């Protein structure tokens, strides 16, 4: 997980909790029914707006947000330089033994195509299709989470209104 993500999450929560405790009694800030209405309403209205398959894909994308990439850009560059030098010295078939050492799935797939003797233009087209497919998957997940984020304010107001009604009813 990225350190900035951890710092941001902990820092944001700490500021909110500090603000709540500095005002005295924390129980006044917490209304369980309002939280359920806000969270449940936001989540279920987003599920309603998207096909179930998109919801499942978006849920599977959540761990990727907090996961470090397998390789850095510099590692990939180093690997490419090493592979190109090996191919120049020993030929393209020599790259077959190096495939297992490649950590990047995308690069490994490209190397498999090259070693299998696929024409360069077909390799390029295949890899571009992979990139385009990944971009579409990422855009779909982003659209899902943006829709989810857009739902919460409205449901938060509904939860707040219900909380106020319950409060006024008890007076």
Contact 46, 148 (CB under 8 A): yes
pLDDT at 91: 82
Q: Give the DSSP letter of residue 116.
A: T
Above 80 in pLDDT, residue 2?
no
Across 31-50, average pLDDT: 93
Above 90 in pLDDT, residue 127?
yes
Contact 109, 130 (CB under 8 A): yes
pLDDT at 36: 93
Across 135-153, average pLDDT: 95
Above 90 in pLDDT, residue 10?
yes
Residue 146, token pair as written in the block: 């943006």
- The whole-angstrom separation of Cα 22 and Cα 16 is 10
Q: Report the Cα 94 to chain-centroid distance in Å.
A: 36
Above 80 in pLDDT, residue 27?
no
| 46, burial (CB in 10 Å: exposed 0-12, middle 13-18, buried 19+) | buried
pLDDT at 1: 63
Write the pLDDT tens digit of every residue in 44-100.
Answer: 999 999 999 999 999 999 988 778 777 888 888 888 898 888 888 888 777 888 887
Across 13-28, average pLDDT: 84
| 83, burial (CB in 10 Å: exposed 0-12, middle 13-18, buried 19+) | buried
Above 90 in pLDDT, residue 11?
yes
Which residue do the tokens 């707006």 mark?
Answer: 49
| CA-based radius of gyration for the chain | 25
User: Nearest-CA neighbor of 154 among 16, 41, 55?
Assistant: 41
% the chain with pLDDT above 90? 45
- The whole-angstrom separation of Cα 106 and Cα 128 is 11
Above 90 in pLDDT, residue 136?
yes
% the chain with pLDDT above 70? 99
- The whole-angstrom separation of Cα 140 and Cα 22 is 41
- pTM of the entire structure? 0.70
pLDDT at 86: 85
Q: Give the DSSP letter of residue 95.
A: G
Count the helix, strand and coil residues of the chain and give each as a percent rounded to the nearest 5. 85, 0, 15
């Amino acid at each position: 997980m990225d350190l900035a993500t951890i710092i941001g999450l902990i820092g944001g929560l700490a500021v909110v909790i500090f603000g709540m405790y500095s005002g005295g009694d924390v129980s006044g800030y917490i209304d369980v029914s309002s939280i359920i209405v806000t969270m449940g309403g936001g989540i279920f209205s987003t599920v309603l707006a998207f096909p179930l398959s998109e919801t499942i894909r978006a849920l599977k994308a959540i761990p990727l947000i907090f996961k470090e990439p397998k390789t850095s850009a510099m590692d990939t560059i180093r690997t490419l330089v090493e592979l190109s030098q090996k191919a120049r010295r020993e030929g393209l078939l020599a790259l077959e033994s190096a495939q297992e050492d490649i950590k990047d799935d995308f690069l490994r797939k490209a190397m498999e195509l090259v070693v299998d003797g696929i024409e360069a233009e077909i390799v390029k087209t295949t890899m571009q299709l992979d990139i385009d497919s990944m971009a579409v998957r990422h855009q779909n997940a982003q659209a899902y989470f943006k829709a989810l984020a857009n739902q919460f304010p409205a449901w938060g107001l509904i939860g707040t209104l219900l909380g106020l009604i319950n409060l006024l009813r008890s007076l």
